[in-house]
Amino acid sequence: MDLITGILSTALLAGGVLALAALGEVLAERVGVVNLGVEGLMSLGALTGIATVAAVPSPALGFAAALGVGFAFGCVFAAATVLLRANQVLCGLALTLLGSGLAATLGRSYAGAPAAAVFPQVAVPGLADIPVLGPALFSQNVLLYAIYIALPVGLHLLLFRTRHGLNLRAVGESPAAADAAGIPVAAIRFWYVALGSSLAGGAGAYLTLAFVPSWSEGVVAGRGWIAVALVIFAGFRPLTAVAAALLFGVITALGFVGQARGWPVAPAILSMLPYLGTVAFIILPVVAWRRLRGWFAAPAALGLPYHRDVR
Amino acid sequence: MSWRFQRVPTVPAGAALAGRVGAILAALACVAAVLSLAGLAPARLGAEVIGSAFGSVAGLEDLGLLVTPLILTGIAVALTQRIGLWNIGGEGQFNAGALAATAVGLHAGGDDAWALPLMTLAGAAGGAAWILVPTLARAFAGVSELITTLLLNFVAALLVAWLCTGPWRDPSGRALATTARIPAELPPLGDTLHWGLPAAIAVAILAAGLLAFTRFGYEVRVAGANPGAALYAGIPVRARIVAVMLLSGAVAGLAGTIELAGTVHRLQGGISNNYGYLGIMVAVLARGSCLGVIAGAVLMAALLNAGIVLQTQGVNTSTVLAITGLILLFTAVGDEIVHYRPVRRTRILG
């Protein structure tokens, strides 16, 4: 019973980090921009969170600062890819190298030390006493509910139930048609890429302020790349992205619990599970259900810069 | 009369080169500005960096040791670029190659004539095996190779770390996280330099020749430039994708083998030293040209060397990754900016 509570509780935290980053990537990819810089943005956010709470012991402030740093670097990335229309893959890799390198350089004095303040766990009265599920679901930090419920539902409604969302998806599917219809392609792409990057920065802070809670070089450990892969696996939809993130949270938690309980598998093998799982999950659906390829289809203009004069 | 910028589809080589040089200088200027803000003297550091790399034979040999793996990981990326794909899993294939070569090397004596050739074969096969799943997924299911190749990097690093702290740990017990010393090693070519460097240059020349002068290379280039046209022309695009990606993995695996047999001599965690990721930068700087990769690798090695000098000044080695990222960003932007020409706006009908 404790085992299930432990797995579920860890899975929710680990999945929350991935969910936040994946939601940001859904926004960027829906408007037609591949942001491969998530890993770097998360590193910067992770450090910002730790550094902020070291100065002012408020996890909310640390999270907000990480959102801000993610937004600022997202603006740089968007300026390069949307306004100057540079190669998105290259700029994304550059952002990953820049972010990881910068965070490792600046964060040396914080390495290894635990976070000065972490998100407190809040027990929901009554519900937290439910056996097994109660401690895992209703005795968590408040941000978790925003990540799993408010944000994905809000983004789903925005993308699929509003005119603005229709415009936004049109920009990702056919920027030329959107442009002809009077939709400001560059502005929409710029702001949603910056907003998505901001969420990636927040995911980094959530990692170091709620899940791990400490900073070390390489603390992000490929979670940014897993988030990018999750978006593909989730068919570029916010609700499924969060569900997929939770699934990966469970896989990560199984590895942790296995190590803690001394399961007869080498810890390194258990640590590989999230990466191997991600590879399997983005390959299997397209192989197994060929008829569902349309459901998994990426926005048609994904990765392509839009030049109005070269249509 | 007013001016505006117009995009031109093709850029003369001179302008493209000027854009590249400008981008790198701009990135380095940013780095210098940050360093001087941090209280370091960039001009003195720069002189020290150049002096330590190019000022002495020992410095040049150390530079050569860095250039060797960078040429090979750069070629690995450049090959896939030519068919329009990105192998960003060089880091993992490097580790897989080193691992496979170790498996052979640990069982060979120092004077066994078959040891080195067999290690080389195993290393190349290991690298190719590591990219096999992403390759098949790309060629037959259309799954983006970007993410699959990258994710396997983490798996390879974990596997290497596990093997050298667990089953393959040095039985003599002195070294904590490495395997025993592998007896077979590449013949030396100076004090520290070894025959890995000429071998890497030979691979670069062979790859350039393969792409430029063979039917296979022609088909690869056409498939990269326009897959639809290639299919109509009867080129087996899938088979070419599979061949190029496996070759790319094998070259990255070879880089791991040479690093192991020439420089490090023991399998250890972090043996790949980011060479796989830096290879992306090398290939981008070379614009996908296999001979250009040699020049790109020298530039990248000088940067890595700068990182070692910076470390003596109390700056983290990860700074090099940040600088690399900055140069990559400026290069990507510069490549696009050179497409624009200022043109005079002419009025139609008064």
Which among B147, B154, B332 is the nearest to A282, CB-wise? B147
Question: Same domain, yes or no, for B98 and B193?
Answer: yes
A192-196, B37-41, B172-176, B234-238: least confident range: B172-176
Question: Same domain, yes or no, for B289 and B330?
Answer: no
Residue B348 within a domain: no
Name chain B contacts of A287, Cβ cutoff 8 Å.
137, 141
Neighbours of A65 (CB within 10 A): 22
User: Which tokens sit at A134?
Assistant: 């109660």
Question: Tell me: the pLDDT tens digits for B143-160?
Answer: 889 999 999 999 999 999
Q: Does A282 touch chain B (CB under 8 A)?
A: yes
Which among A36, A101, A278 is the nearest to B322, CB-wise? A101
Burial class (CB in 10 A: 0-12, 13-18, 19+), B349: exposed
Mean pLDDT of chain B: 89
Q: Which residue has the tokens 């060397």?
A: B305
Predicted confidence (pLDDT) at residue A311 exceeds the cutoff of 60: no
Q: What is the DSSP letter of B266?
A: S
Residue B45 within a domain: no
Predicted confidence (pLDDT) at residue B172 exceeds the cutoff of 90: no
Question: Tell me: the pLDDT tens digits for A96-151?
Answer: 999 999 999 888 888 887 888 888 877 777 776 777 666 767 777 888 888 999 99
A21-30, A237-246, B37-46: least confident range: B37-46
- Helix A151-161 to helix A238-261 angle, to the nearest 10 degrees? 150
Interatomic CA distance for residues A272 and A259, integer angstroms: 12
Give the mean pLDDT of B71-77: 97
**Which positions 163-182 of B are in contact with A (Cβ < 8 Å)?**
166
Predicted confidence (pLDDT) at residue B298 exceeds the cutoff of 90: yes
CB contact at 8 A, B266 and B178: yes
Give the mean pLDDT of B275-287: 91
Give the mean pLDDT of B184-206: 92
Name chain B contacts of A275, Cβ cutoff 8 Å.
151-152, 154-155
- From the CA of A156, how many Å to the nearest CA of chain B? 25
Contact yes or no for B329 and A98 at CB 8 A: yes
Question: Tell me: the pLDDT tens digits for B14-49?
Answer: 888 888 889 999 999 998 898 888 777 888 888 888
Q: Does B313 touch chain A (CB under 8 A)?
A: no
The chain A residue lying nearest B334, using CA atoms, is A86
Residue B236 within a domain: yes
Question: Same domain, yes or no, for B78 and B180?
Answer: yes
Beta strands in A134-242 (DSSP E): 139-140
Question: Same domain, yes or no, for B14 and B137?
Answer: no
Confidence of residue A294 (pLDDT cuts 50, 70, 90): confident
Q: Which residue has the tokens 């519900």?
A: A127
Residue B46 within a domain: no
Q: Phi-psi region for residue A87, left (φ > 0), alpha (ψ -120 to 50) or beta? A: beta
Neighbours of B141 (CB within 10 A): 16
Q: Which residue has the tokens 């939601």?
A: A23
Contact yes or no for A97 and B277 at CB 8 A: yes
Q: Does B6 touch chain A (CB under 8 A)?
A: yes
Question: Same domain, yes or no, for B331 and B272?
Answer: no
- Which residues lie closer than 8 Å to B34 by C-beta, 6 or more apart? none
CB contact at 8 A, B259 and B98: yes
Name chain A contacts of B336, Cβ cutoff 8 Å.
84-87, 305
CB contact at 8 A, B284 and A90: yes
Output phi, psi for A63, to 5 deg: -65, -45
**Which positions 224-243 of B are in contact with A (Cβ < 8 Å)?**
none
Q: Is B40 helix (H, G, I), strand (E, B) or coil?
A: coil
Contact yes or no for B143 and A272 at CB 8 A: no
Residue B232, amino acid? Y
Interatomic CA distance for residues B258 and B254, integer angstroms: 6
Provide the terminal-to-terminal Cα distance of chain B, rounded to the nearest Å: 12
Contact yes or no for B318 and A84 at CB 8 A: no
Mean pLDDT of chain A: 89
CATH of residue B235's domain is 1.10.3470
Q: Does B124 touch chain A (CB under 8 A)?
A: no
Burial class (CB in 10 A: 0-12, 13-18, 19+), A81: buried
Predicted confidence (pLDDT) at residue B219 exceeds the cutoff of 90: yes
Question: Same domain, yes or no, for B264 and B335?
Answer: no
Interatomic CA distance for residues A263 and A70, integer angstroms: 38
Interatomic CA distance for residues A308 and A207, integer angstroms: 40
Q: β-pairing, A122-123 with A139-140?
A: antiparallel
Residue of B311, B309, B321, B211 lying closest to B276 (CA atoms):
B321
Q: For position A280, what pLDDT does the model report?
A: 92
Predicted confidence (pLDDT) at residue B350 exceeds the cutoff of 70: no
Element (H, E) at B340: strand B340-345
Give the mean pLDDT of A246-265: 84
Give the mean pLDDT of B235-255: 97
Q: For position B153, what pLDDT does the model report?
A: 95
Question: Same domain, yes or no, for B36 and B70?
Answer: no
- The residue among B184 and B197 whose pLDDT is bigger is B197
Q: For position B107, what pLDDT does the model report?
A: 83
Give the mean pLDDT of A242-252: 92
Q: For position A310, what pLDDT does the model report?
A: 65
Name chain A contacts of B161, Cβ cutoff 8 Å.
268
Element (H, E) at B126: helix B115-130
Residue B65 within a domain: yes
- From the CA of B215, how many Å to the nearest CA of chain A? 29
Predicted confidence (pLDDT) at residue B313 exceeds the cutoff of 80: no
Interatomic CA distance for residues B308 and B51, integer angstroms: 13
Residue B347 within a domain: no
CB contact at 8 A, B281 and B327: yes
Question: Same domain, yes or no, for B301 and B187?
Answer: yes
Name chain A contacts of B144, Cβ cutoff 8 Å.
232, 282
Domain interval for residue B151 = 54-314
Question: Same domain, yes or no, for B245 and B297?
Answer: yes
- From the CA of B114, how many Å to the nearest CA of chain A? 33
Interatomic CA distance for residues A116 and B340, integer angstroms: 50
Interatomic CA distance for residues B101 and B116, integer angstroms: 9
Interatomic CA distance for residues B9 and B340, integer angstroms: 9
Interatomic CA distance for residues B100 and B179, integer angstroms: 13
Residue B1 within a domain: no
How many domains is chain B partitioned into structurally?
2
Output phi, psi for B7, to 5 deg: -85, 130
Question: Same domain, yes or no, for B30 and B60?
Answer: no
Residue B169 within a domain: yes
Residue of A107, A78, A111 lying closest to A95 (CA atoms):
A78
Interatomic CA distance for residues A199 and A203, integer angstroms: 6
- The residue among B50 and A245 whose pLDDT is bigger is A245
Residue B261, amino acid? A
Give the mean pLDDT of A164-188: 95
Question: Same domain, yes or no, for B244 and B291?
Answer: yes
Ordered domains of chain A (ranges, CATH): 2-296 (1.10.3470)
Question: Same domain, yes or no, for B22 and B107?
Answer: no
